[in-house]
Chain A
């Protein structure tokens, strides 16, 4: 009896300790303000408006030369009433943002397309990332008109690509919880 009581106390303490972590995501997280997938000719294309946020620590890190990575995760799920949803499409857009001290510019690279942009301000760089226009996703022919589809979009701040010394801290510091939640909406056909 005594040991089970101690076990319960231990679990309560652990839960209490973990409780602050659950709220971290909301404070500094990136937010998907608007997203929609529309049909343009034979392709479904994505348009999204994303509000990126950088914590104080992330900003300092960036200005200290630490490159930051984001990936825009896009999924198209075919819905099944009784089974798991089938992933029809899964694609990522990777961004790398780094401060160039010599030229005092922020260099933004779209790692998926290979494009590079230089911005004199951080906001200009984030502004470029925040607007997605006409990003082709899937051909119309691959979408069945009878089925229901769910679109999912998430901006993931890639802590795994931070420098090693920062990595372990990034997993426990709310300043580095910069990813957004999944945004889900049905596909309009």
Chain B
């Protein structure tokens, strides 16, 4: 389990950026103050903060876009992130907007409250008062100057400078100058002896002077002082103008200046009221916007960090769902989520262990199943299992061997579907199906059908299967091919009959025959010719019948004794050719042979096998006309991984009745008027003693056909 060091939710970069944003906002806030040194940078700060907002908006936009993309792709944790971010934004936005709204309200009301009509009026009145005061002073100084001009009227040009000096000192003016009409300085006197050039009126003053003949105005002087410039006309022959500069008392100037400053400031503020509101609103909006954007951005980062373990958990559960238990999730933090991740890892570990155990158990079950399947497959008994709906679930190889149908191909289908492939199985299968559905316990039944190899006897045992709850979940049918066993039992019984006949009947026959012949011999001469004739006839009858009985008992002996006496490798084609050579000569019957190329060798007793062929050909010859046809073919075949030589013998004679087909190979069954009925029984016995099989080929519709299969020699190539 990987424990990592506990991390702060924000990186250093985020903290620095956040700090810069705050600093920038603080600077901008300071810059809104006119007196601040930062006011010169106000525009730049506004721009920087605006750009900062754009950058933050971009960051938030990118995060929102990424989140939308993730949500669309249904990535792990995206929906939780969306919900948390939405919640955070709503929680952050609502109070911020409320505070912003009321701040704006207070701000606007606050600014508006600075201005009212009374202050406005008071300041205007104060200014007007100051102006009136100065105006009165100006008029007084003008009057004073006009009075001075009267005194200068009589002054000669030589005395005018001296008179002016006296008048200046008398009037309290700082400077006094006498101009000609053309602006030439006639005389000048100043309180400052250093002032060589007097203050000259500008062209506007001259214009007024020429229009009105006098001029008075307050003008700013050096060193932030005010002075009253009064010019009056001196009535002389050549018009002259007397200019006197009177200082405004410092106190008056200070008061007037103070009033003006207050008035201007108030007027300026009043003018700027709207701009001030806009500026504060802008600054406040920018602060709100940046704070919100920064908070949302940080929220994105924080939520991403918080969601990370949840995301991992989701991925982990997806991995578990897809069967991957091998990668434990890293424990990022030692908090509740960390505990959850640890618990998840523990759970995953246990699931992995359980899975491994299940897998091992599965392997064992699979091995067991394979083992059982192998056993079932190699059983000689056929086994077919059924589900609750009596559909075939499993079938082993032996089922195919017995039914000669690939039962495996019918898995999931009904047993009766096998009838489509093999109609002769209809009755036995219906019987099995009925038993399956009806039997409540183990059942057993013998069924017989005509298979491709002749009549087959099956011993079927079945049992219904029950679940632990007692519900019927299917059934199993096991069937053995007991054809050979029954045949062997029959053969043994017939053998015993034959042996007893030989022993119990044959022994008395010779004394009977001898006794009859002795009676004939002793009494023939002593009887009348007529009686002698009767005796001779009777004796002959006894002897003939005894002979017949002997012959019958010999046949039985032949049937009872083992047919496979001395075994050698026999080339069947050669044998058939030899035997056919005997029949070809003495009958008009046509023989058609078909031998497969190569040596067709079997291991057996040549005498017995000759007898088989003789019996079969004899039977065929007896069944057909003199112009009949007998076909004999020899082929190699393979059945159940064993090589066989198949000998097929067909005639176009009268054929075998259908009801006789099943019993044709039993003793005393014959279609002929004469004979013991042991021929085919002996043939079957010899063939079976050689490990082969014989059956009637029912597919042939003309005449009769017999098929013999004998195991090929081991050296026989196929």
Contacts and interface: CB of A to CB of B under 8 A. Distances in A.
Nearest to A98: B264
B204 A120 contact: yes
Contact of B43 (A60, A103, A107, A171): A171
B259 interface: yes
A165 B260 contact: no
Interface string B192-211: 00000000000010000000
A101 B220 CA distance: 13
Interface stretch (B32-40, B372-380, B434-442): B32-40
A165 B127 contact: no
Contacts of A163: 34, 268, 272, 275
A66 B264 CA distance: 8
Nearest to B34: A164
Contacts, number: 81
A124 interface: yes
Q: Pick from A61, A104, A164 the residue with the most CB of B within 10 Å.
A: A164
Given A101-B263, A102-B260, A169-B278, A64 B268 contact: yes
A116 B202 CA distance: 13
A171 B50 CA distance: 14
B278 A65 contact: no
Interface in A74-124: 100-104, 107, 116, 118-120, 124
A12 interface: no
Contact of A168 (B131, B226, B278): B278
A160 B280 CA distance: 18
A167 interface: yes
Interface residues of A, number: 25
Chain B interface, DSSP helix/strand/loop, else mixed: helix
B121 to A, nearest CB: 15
A166 interface: yes
B34 A101 contact: no
B700 to A, nearest CB: 80
B3 interface: no
B271 interface: yes
Contacts of B219: 103, 118
A156 to B, nearest CB: 15
B31 A102 contact: no
B264 A101 contact: yes
A69 to B, nearest CB: 12
B130 A102 contact: yes
A143 to B, nearest CB: 35
B105 to A, nearest CB: 19
Contact of B31 (A119, A164, A166): A164
B482 interface: no
Contacts of B306: none
Contacts of B218: 103
B43 A118 contact: no
Nearest to B275: A165
Given A64-B271, A66-B271, A118-B219, A164 B39 contact: yes
B54 to A, nearest CB: 13
Given A64-B268, A124-B204, A101 B279 contact: no
A65 B264 contact: yes
B506 to A, nearest CB: 113
Contact of A164 (B226, B259, B267, B279): B279
A120 B275 CA distance: 28
Contacts of A107: 220
B459 interface: no
Nearest to A100: B260
Contacts of A164: 31-34, 39, 42, 279
Contacts of A166: 272, 275
Nearest to B65: A3
A118 B220 contact: yes
Nearest to A99: B264
Interface of B: 31-34, 39-40, 42-43, 46, 127, 130-131, 134, 204, 218-220, 226, 256-257, 259-260, 263-265, 267-268, 270-272, 275-276, 278-280, 282
Interface of A: 60-61, 64-66, 100-104, 107, 116, 118-120, 124, 160, 163-169, 171
Given A65-B265, A103-B218, A164-B279, 13 more contacts: A65-B271, A101-B264, A102-B257, A102-B259, A102-B263, A107-B220, A124-B204, A163-B268, A165-B275, A165-B279, A165-B280, A166-B272, A168-B279
16 contacts: A64-B272, A65-B268, A65-B271, A66-B271, A100-B220, A102-B127, A102-B256, A102-B257, A116-B220, A164-B33, A164-B279, A165-B276, A165-B280, A166-B275, A167-B43, A167-B279
Closest 6 pairs between A and B when the two form their complex, measured CB to CB: A64-B271, A65-B264, A102-B260, A165-B275, A165-B276, A65-B268
